[in-house]
Amino acid sequence: MKTLPSILGYLLFAILLAVPPVILQNTGNGDWLVPGFWLVFFYISGLTFMVISAVVLMNAKNKEYFVQAYLAGTTLKILACIIFIFIFAMKNKVNKHVFLADFFYIYLLNMVFEVYVLLRNLRHKNLR
């Protein structure tokens, strides 16, 4: 998998992921979003972008370490997100159910894209 299409694909995915929250805000349903939603969104999206970029670049440099780079990046991402959740919850008074729904909307869909990139890279590796 080429580096540039993967990165551009993620940027397009992040834009599409931001569309439903923008629609919620503009239709008067902003109470479904926690205050600071965009901070959470950009934090998790930024982490995912860094993980995907690092994994795709590692695949381009040395294909033997692709899976290890993916696992290390995903582990660091989940740890960074857990720390972020604790700090965010301590500093902001939010509805916990809305926060969990918003967090998992962002995190799980980003994880789906990461798995998609992993499977695409492994599929191309097996076709050779």
Q: Which of 52, 44, 60 is nearest to 7 (CA)?
A: 52
Q: For residues 79, 70, 72 and 40, what is the CA-based torsion angle, rounded to 10 degrees?
A: -20
Length of the chain: 128
Average pLDDT over every residue of 105-116:
92
**Distance between CA atoms of residues 126 and 59, nearest Å:** 14
Q: Are 58 and 50 in contact (CB under 8 A)?
A: no
Phi, psi (5° rounding) for residue 92?
Answer: -120, 140
**Distance between CA atoms of residues 63 and 39, nearest Å:** 34
pLDDT of residue 120: 79
Q: Name residue, tokens 């540039």.
A: 4
Per-residue pLDDT reduced to its tens digit, 83-99: 999 999 899 888 889 99
Which helix (H) or strand (E) element contains residue 70?
helix 66-91
Per-residue pLDDT reduced to its tens digit, 34-55: 999 999 999 999 999 999 988 8
Q: Is residue 93 classed exposed, middle or buried when 0-12, 13-18 and 19+ CB atoms within 10 A define those classes?
A: exposed
pLDDT at 16 over 60: yes
pLDDT at 61 over 60: yes
Mean pLDDT of the chain: 88
